[in-house]
Amino acid sequence: MALLSVEDLSFAYRDREILSRISFPVDAGEVLGLVGPNGCGKTTLIRCVDGMLAPKCGRVLLHGQDLRGMHRREVARAMAYVPQSTGNRTASTVFETVLMGRRPYLNWTVSPADEEKVVEALDLLDLGGLAFRKVGELSGGERQRVMIARALVQETGVVLLDEPTSNLDVRHQMAVMEVLSGLAEERGLAVVIALHDLNLAATYCRRLLVLAKGSIYGHGTPEEVLTPEMLGSVYGIEAVVKRDLPAPYVVPVRPGQLQEGV
């Protein structure tokens, strides 16, 4: 049984349909990449899966249990969510902010074991030296890594991330994706991650779900999904897909260059 299953999910804002009949499973140990152009519904889909938005129809299953029948604390122990925004200007320290990820398990006190989990997450995300800095003093990329660390200390089976690498430099993009893919494999996590960078997605995601205008355009391995035809239809660009590397590599070209043989 898949850790996470989305079945026939649709969502609308009033009369405007945003998502239409979305279905997919995510297995333990798998990283699923959500890709597609701006406005295709990636963020809305993640918020529906997390339960922040109520779908018009369809359902989300966690370990086979319908999300609608679960208490929010129970959901927080099963699924973590990292939003796209990094506008958190809290006066809390990095350590305190990451410790908040333990809230689904805390009663009145914080145990040494809880603190140790925070230290481990900070080290994983290269944040150990920032533990006692105020989050509001950090760069956007640093704050983003703090939010990822907070999600990891929840110790959930499912992790949802909305553009977690958008504010990071190349080194930290790779480092974050290494951590997420490594933890998925080591701990049997089901990771769903919305990404703009197709090459990063191809490198680290076992499968890609391509959204276009709120519907699924394609679903499969990066080799199956990343084609010039898809890039033209979904993104409206001309591109070459290199297949002589460990993962497909998308190279956009200027309009007309392919016809000119450049």
Q: What is the pLDDT of residues 28-72, one digit of tens each?
A: 999 999 999 999 999 999 999 999 999 999 999 999 999 999 998
pLDDT at 167: 83
Is the per-residue pLDDT at 258 higher than 50? yes
Q: Residue 133 gets which letter from DSSP?
A: S
- pLDDT, one tens digit per residue, over 143-157 is 999 999 999 999 999
Nearest to 50 by CA among 29, 27, 72: 72
Question: What is the pLDDT confidence band of residue 262, given thresholds at 50, 70 and 90?
Answer: very low
pLDDT (average), residues 12-21: 92
Nearest to 167 by CA among 196, 191, 188, 187: 196
With a CB cutoff of 8 Å and minimum separation 6, the contacts of 117 are 102, 153, 155
Domains in the chain, start-ordered, CATH in brackets? 4-225 (3.40.50.300), 228-262 (no CATH)
